[in-house]
Structure 1
Amino acid sequence: MSKFRTLAAVAAASSVGAAAGSAGSASASDADRILATRPPVQLHPLATATRSVLADNVIKLLAPQSRPTTGGPSTNGEFGLPFAEPTVNGQTTAAKCVKAATPNGGAKGPVAQVCKPAAGTLVNLPNGKVLFWDALEGTENNTFSIVAEGGATFTNDSARLLSGAESGKPVWTEPKPFDGGANPDGNPGRPLIPGLQTTEKYNDGALFGSHQAFLPDGRLLVQGGTDYSLDPGIDGIPFGAVELTGLKATRIYDPKTNAFTQTGDSAYRRWYPTLVETGDGKYINFSGVGKLLKPVYLDEPQDSLTNVKQVEQFDPATEKWKTFPKTADFDLPLYPRMHLLPNGRMFYNAAGQAFNPFGQSVGETNWNEVATFDPKTATWKKLALANTKTLAPGFRGSTSSTLLPLKPDADGSYTKASFLTAGGVLLPSPGSYFATDQSSITTVDTAGGGERVTQQKTGSLNQVRWFGQNIVLPTGEVVVFSGGDKDEVVGPGTEFPVQQAELFDPVRKTWKPIATAHNPRTYHNSAVLLPSGEVLVGGHATISTAYLNNTTLPGGFAPHDGRDPSFEVFKPPYLFRGARPVISKAPAKVGYGKSMVVTMKTAKQAATVDTVSLVRNSAITHIVDADQRSVQLRVISHKGRRVKLAGVPSGNVAPPGPYMLFVNRTSSQGPVPSVAKQVMVG
């Protein structure tokens, strides 16, 4: 009998004993004696196989089914075959994991296996390459329970640089340091019981749980992350109570050198924060938690049992953080869905990650209303109860919050910002467990200096979807990828994957089912829009089943046998609609308030230009990219091959940093975008 099955038998016997004892009719020893003396049930092998097949088929009936589609790729798009890094730990293999090269796993600590990283975080760099890093690295090394062992077996997450994804000739290289290099000496934690917290150094600076945003020069700012430990726990003993402590560490990744460097620490430890760029190129950090499972701080009791309320700002010029006055303190969910409005204020869309399994924030009721934060006055303003047009008003967990394309008014100004929310789970933690198909749009009108909120129900998703990844296409449409039918964090391993993508029509306000992905991707999935107009889809790093170990339940449930390091390239429908317009020349850098000229390959192409958009390079983790935006530019004139465009009026509309410039032509089947030109704005 395997170790897992032996442990399962022990757990089952313990459960029977506990149940009998609670009923008052038998003790734990009585239950043990009954189990020991009961003759085993003997089944014919055919009966056993039949029972297994029947059970699997019954379970599969509960799984979400792909909806029928009409038409071909020009209607539904198409997924390419999955591809993955060919080597791991120096070995060429199709397997996800190999045995550690040394007994202690080298820099990875005491691990038995080393695995290929999955794209829990995915970043489309301005040099055409893609940076990604792992999530929950080390689950494969737990034998019984990540709750009891995780503090010693989780390791720092590995990062990779991927090039050639669009060409079909992918190449992976390792950044330096491979794990981002944060907290190398293991900054002191915040033990629940002084003296009883383990001090492993190989997992004190994990990238998992950090957030990232592009700096104005195209480098990547990364703040926060995870310091794993057993708390309580004792060094040298591999069992205790796992803890995930947030980091103060701040890293900067430079695409030119493929390297991370450390910069100024934040004042507060943060795990699952949200970074948002301001219009003048600074960065505001919201929420996160100091300790996930046991947020009790003996040194600062006033901060116990809450997420981080304090708001901080990073200045790239000094590489230092400053904390806003206490008037800025505000209780928010983890990875709060925050966005920059055209008036320079920050919008909270009443959504985020809600489940801190053993320590919810006492301020959860604060999460149900949309609100704005004014960096100039360091104050908040609550605007309205969220999602009033849907089944359950208020907070939405693990849902998308997607800024739809910003469009100029008649006078060329940008005053309205609309946010699409679809799927997720209802209500604050612990939420509803079951995913929803509800979808709505919240619009904030900033004309006149204020914020007026209107809400509109849209057509529902065709399938319920938790943790769906939204991508805004150059055409203004939105595609949602991946996810599951239930909240995996509540019941890991009991969710079914949702593999069929859906396309949102911003004019009709409806969703339609389109192509189905090859691989299931539930928790920690990711996707980014590429300059080619294709979408790179990856990720899938699950919590171990039932918080025990990596085991996939039979019957079609989502795979929980380890992380998926593969990617798929999705070709949207517009790539099957004939010839694409070609940009011959575009400015490499554009300032604010200045017009620009784009030169097309032919005068005929220039004459058919319909819309032109600047799409921010994506930096996604946990279905969150706070700086995600698409800005439609006003076409001033066509002359020969040249198209003159009105520029972006200010950084509040398009914060400084890297963008992809797409030109769309009209066709009988819908718009067709060009391959993008990379543009630095600001």
Structure 2
Amino acid sequence: LTFASNQRTTFPAGPEFTYAATWNPATGQFVEYNHPSHDMFCGALVTLPDGRVLVNGGRNTTVRSSLFDWRNNTWTRTPDMNDPRWYNTSVALPGGRVWTVSGSGGSGTAERWDESSGWSRLTGINWNTVTSEPGYITIWHPFLLLAPDGRLIHFGPTDTMHWVAPDGSGSMSNTGTTVPGSHYPKEGSWVMYDEGRILVAGGGANTTASSSGDGTTGTSSTLAYTVDVRSGTPVVTSTASMNFARQFANAVVLPNGQVMVIGGNTSGLKFNDTGSILTPEIWNPATGQWRAAADASVPRNYHSIALLLPDGRILSGGGGLGGNSADHRDAQIYTPPNLFNPDGSLATRPVLNTVPPSVGVGTRFTVSATPGLRKFAFIKMSAITHCVNTDLRYLSLPFTETSSGNYQITAHPSLNVMTPGYWMLFGLDAAGVHSVAKIILVDATTSVSVVAPGNQASYVGQSVSLQMIGSGPTGSVLTWSATGLPAGLSIAGATGRITGTPTATGTSSVRVTLSNGNSSDFEDFTWTIQPQTFSQNFPNFTGASSLTLNGNAAITGGPVQPGRHWPELFDEHPVRFPDSWQRGWRGRIDVRDPGKRRHIPRSCRWRSWL
């Protein structure tokens, strides 16, 4: 989906209207789907869990917001915001809501969108704390991303970083960290290149406006830094500087986990190609170093975009709309070097054959593909404007190759990390060549889970019945299976009940799996089968309040007498022991029943029994 404003080739003026179109990478075809009542020029945009795009704010410093539905290619107005905004930033939240802040008109306020209730202003957030900091312009697309703990991290371009709680009436707090040195990365590029890890590169060298600009940009910088928010306390680290100073560049994370920065200029001039940098650079997170990539032939500066395509190539396009030679109504596609052989011919790419259409967090799902793959990269499909992309994130998913060409992949357990929406799954072979992606929906409701039953203990010759508990998406067909069960036991695939009579002693490592055909979950536990009669020595016992007899059991020598000390009654001295719940006591009393069996009394916080 592409759009600009109410003019095709000049800076916009006039009514609320936007020229918009879809582009098909497979055919190169554009089809127009214009918006008749909202000029979305320079508003904020995010993708929702179902793939729709929400755009709020825009030219005319407007309160308007709109949805584009890719399923029928239609625009729909949503309720207006409380405050007008232009150059704001929005973040999609895991529950399907959207948070937005700042921009001209609403520079000091934040709002949250809910499809059922519209926009609500968050009274607990005073963004004037941010916009009052030094900078040649501070009411402009703040840098914000969803952190692994569910908060939002604000990490630039103003100096002080903040935590933002987007729920309730909202709140914000100083993280105690700042942008390194004098770097003011407005008009810089940034991306979440791994779980909770962010790269920021370029922008302004300091908070002084460039004398050659219009007062809204600075002196272009080569500086770069990373922000690691996995621990809940941001760790800010300077990394190697780029080879070229850039403003207006765009960042894209590649399937191998490296980051490509494309375009930008050294002059800091908007609607101007002076000082254009045609050489992209690629940053390696393993080394922190940059390397040059193949040159583009068209400048990509202010208002340009860059996105990773499902075929693993990078789209770089657009720029301008000032009505001059810096307008670029075209695009170029970059093919990464790992897709070529050393002789320049195209490499043979691995193939993903079958993947599930949707997965849930924490699930395990099956993929069939070229044998011997070494990596599965999961990259969020996203929306970008003004170098701002709050959707984009990258995960390397753990996996096992269960048989040749068949893989069990484990999804991340958190919706704050593996956010709801559409993702691209790439497979990489031993040479680092990546496949064409398969598109998978991360569905917050598509989750299969198994409740841990805890370690089990039973006796030879005594019947067993253990009901496993699990859940899955509404309407899905769930199937149970188990490996490692003790001899004599089996599981019912439809109900998850484990039954039977153990036939041999020993301890088994059991795995019980629940699957809905697309994804699965499992729990591991041990199952100990004991003989009918056994004993164990314990050196001490601190006491217990009662012993309840049931069935045909009786205590040899008569019932417990009031005031009697428990250790005197035990044939073997009791001891405190740890179990999976707390500390308890266990000892042995020979209690005879008609079958001449011995029973072990146990005591814990809730009850005692034989």
Distance 2:326 2:175 in 1: 43
Higher strand share: 2
Q: 1:135–1:541: 8 Å Cα contact kept in structure 2?
A: no
Distance 1:381 1:576 in 2: 48
Q: Which residue of 1 aligns with 2:433?
A: 672
Q: 2:205–2:223: 8 Å Cα contact kept in structure 1?
A: no
Where in structure 2 are the equivalents of 1:60-71 lying within 5 Å?
none
Task: Identify the match of residue 592 of structure 1 among 353, 358, 361.
Answer: 361
- Indicate whether 1:644 and 2:411 are aligned: no
Where in structure 2 are the equivalents of 1:451-530 lying within 5 Å?
451-489=232-270, 493=272, 495-530=274-309
Q: Which residue of 1 aligns with 2:2?
A: 132
Task: Identify the match of residue 145 of structure 2 among 324, 339, 343.
Answer: 339
Deviation, 1:323, is: 1.5
- Indicate whether 1:434 and 2:219 are aligned: yes
Q: 1:502–1:512: 8 Å Cα contact kept in structure 2?
A: yes
Distance 1:529 1:459 in 2: 24
Q: Which residue of 2 aligns with 1:576?
A: 340
Q: Which residue of 2 aligns with 1:535?
A: 314
Deviation, 1:661, is: 0.9
Q: Which residue of 2 aligns with 1:253?
A: 68
Q: 1:350–1:369: 8 Å Cα contact kept in structure 2?
A: yes
Q: 1:646-676 CA deviation, whole Å, 9 max, x = no partner?
A: 1121210122111111111121xxx111110
Q: Which residue of 2 aligns with 1:383?
A: 175
Q: Which residue of 2 aligns with 1:106?
A: none
Where in structure 2 are the equivalents of 1:233-632 lying within 5 Å?
246-290=61-105, 308-316=107-115, 318=116, 320-327=118-125, 329-330=127-128, 331-332=130-131, 333=138, 334-351=140-157, 367-376=158-167, 378-388=170-180, 390=181, 392-393=182-183, 395-406=184-195, 417-428=196-207, 430=209, 433-446=218-231, 451-489=232-270, 493=272, 495-541=274-320, 543=322, 550=323, 560-561=324-325, 563-577=327-341, 578-600=347-369, 605-606=370-371, 608-632=372-396
Distance 2:203 2:407 in 1: 41
Deviation, 1:134, is: 2.1
Distance 1:252 1:640 in 2: 44
Deviation, 1:436, is: 0.8
Deviation, 1:210, is: 1.2
SS at match of 1:651: coil
Match of 2:250, as an amino acid? Q
Deviation, 1:623, is: 0.8
Distance 1:453 1:217 in 2: 31
Uncovered stretches (5+) of structure 2, i.e. residues with no partner? 132-137, 211-216, 342-346, 444-610
Distance 2:295 2:328 in 1: 17
Distance 2:427 2:9 in 1: 44
Deviation, 1:479, is: 0.8
Uncovered stretches (5+) of structure 1, i.e. residues with no partner? 1-130, 141-145, 183-204, 228-245, 291-306, 352-366, 407-416, 544-549, 551-559
Match of 2:46, as an amino acid? A
Match of 1:564, as an amino acid? H
Deviation, 1:319, is: 5.3
Deviation, 1:640, is: 2.6
Q: Which residue of 2 aligns with 1:297?
A: none
**Alignment CA distance shift 1:516-1:135 (3 Å):** farther
Q: 1:397–1:428: 8 Å Cα contact kept in structure 2?
A: no
Deviation, 1:469, is: 0.5
Deviation, 1:135, is: 5.3
Distance 1:346 1:576 in 2: 39
Say how many residue pairs are matched: 423
Q: 1:212–1:275: 8 Å Cα contact kept in structure 2?
A: yes
Q: Which residue of 2 aligns with 1:212?
A: 45
Of structures 1 and 2, the one with the larger relative CO (CA 8 A, separation 6+) is 1
Distance 2:149 2:155 in 1: 16
SS at match of 1:516: coil
SS at match of 2:439: strand
SS at match of 1:401: strand
Distance 1:615 1:488 in 2: 32
Deviation, 1:274, is: 1.0
Q: 2:109–2:125: 8 Å Cα contact kept in structure 1?
A: no
Distance 1:654 1:539 in 2: 30
Task: Identify the match of residue 419 of structure 2 among 655, 672, 675.
Answer: 655
Q: 1:127-169 CA deviation, whole Å, 9 max, x = no partner?
A: xxxx1012583664xxxxx8xxx755x9844111111x2x4x4
Where in structure 2 are the equivalents of 1:21-170 lying within 5 Å?
131-134=1-4, 137=7, 140=10, 151=13, 156-163=17-24, 165=25, 167=26, 169-170=27-28
Higher helix share: 1
Q: 1:197-240 CA deviation, whole Å, 9 max, x = no partner?
A: xxxxxxxx32211111111111111111112xxxxxxxxxxxxx
Q: Which moved more, 1:341-350 or 1:272-281?
A: 272-281
Distance 2:410 2:9 in 1: 51
SS at match of 2:107: coil
Q: 2:206–2:219: 8 Å Cα contact kept in structure 1?
A: no
SS at match of 1:222: strand
Q: 1:10-36 CA deviation, whole Å, 9 max, x = no partner?
A: xxxxxxxxxxxxxxxxxxxxxxxxxxx
Q: 1:406-443 CA deviation, whole Å, 9 max, x = no partner?
A: 2xxxxxxxxxx121111111334636732011112121
Match of 2:151, as an amino acid? R
Q: 1:524-555 CA deviation, whole Å, 9 max, x = no partner?
A: 11111111001111011154xxxxxx5xxxxx
SS at match of 1:618: coil
Match of 1:457, as an amino acid? S
Query: Percent identity between the aligned chains?
Result: 26
Distance 2:203 2:436 in 1: 32
Q: 1:211–1:273: 8 Å Cα contact kept in structure 2?
A: yes
- Indicate whether 1:221 and 2:54 are aligned: yes
TM-score normalised according to structure 2 size: 0.66
Distance 2:272 2:126 in 1: 39
